[in-house]
Amino acid sequence: MPRVKIGPALPDRETLDIEIAHLRDLDAAALRVRWQNVFKRPPSHLPRHILFRMLAYRLQANHLGDLDGESRRLLDGTISPEAAGKRAVDASRMSADVRPGTMLAREWNGRMHWVAVLATGFAWNGKTYPSLSKIAHAITGTRWNGPRFFGLRDKPAKEARS
């Protein structure tokens, strides 16, 4: 008679459902105590609904198995929605690369202003400034984004502004 390999017993789904239902009945303080038993240090800043979801996930992962290595690597490689949004905004603000020796020009109130890009900053009217924003402020008397004032940064599309 051939030998049959018997794997581990399947987890009892009903027991898991009862444990998760029990978590649902706990208040935030009791969830933190349960969290301490599972994860060691209870977070004081997480609200009850997040504590519940994370504990329920951990129970399911312990009973049914956690993510495999490939899935975990895939999720670890993704970025948060906040980071994705920031990356999209940064891409829409593309700033031109200016090298020392470049001359920037901007007309303001009928007068042409020339700025020389130096290795250590920017020269305008015989003075050296650390940033284009300082020069834009000196020209206009109001605070400006220097690269935008000198046309080095594209204006955001109308769709992106709303």
Handedness of CA 46, 49, 55, 58 (dihedral sign): negative
- CA-based angle 111:113:118, to the nearest 5? 175
User: What's the pLDDT at 70?
Assistant: 81
**What residues pair up with 124 in beta bridges, in sequence order?**
127
The dihedral formed by the CA atoms of 148, 152, 158 and 162, expressed in degrees to the nearest 10: -50
| pLDDT number for residue 60 | 85
Q: Which ranges constitute the DSSP H helices of the chain?
A: 13-24, 28-39, 48-64, 69-77, 81-92, 132-140, 146-149, 158-161
pTM of the model: 0.41
Sheet holding 111-117, edge to edge: 103-108, 111-117, 122-124, 127-129
Mean pLDDT, contiguous 10-residue spans, the chain (162 residues): 53 80 88 82 79 87 82 76 70 66 92 93 94 94 90 63 49
* pLDDT given at position 133: 93
Which pLDDT does position 1 carry in this prediction?
Answer: 47
**Residue 64 has which token pair?**
């049914």
pLDDT of residue 15: 82
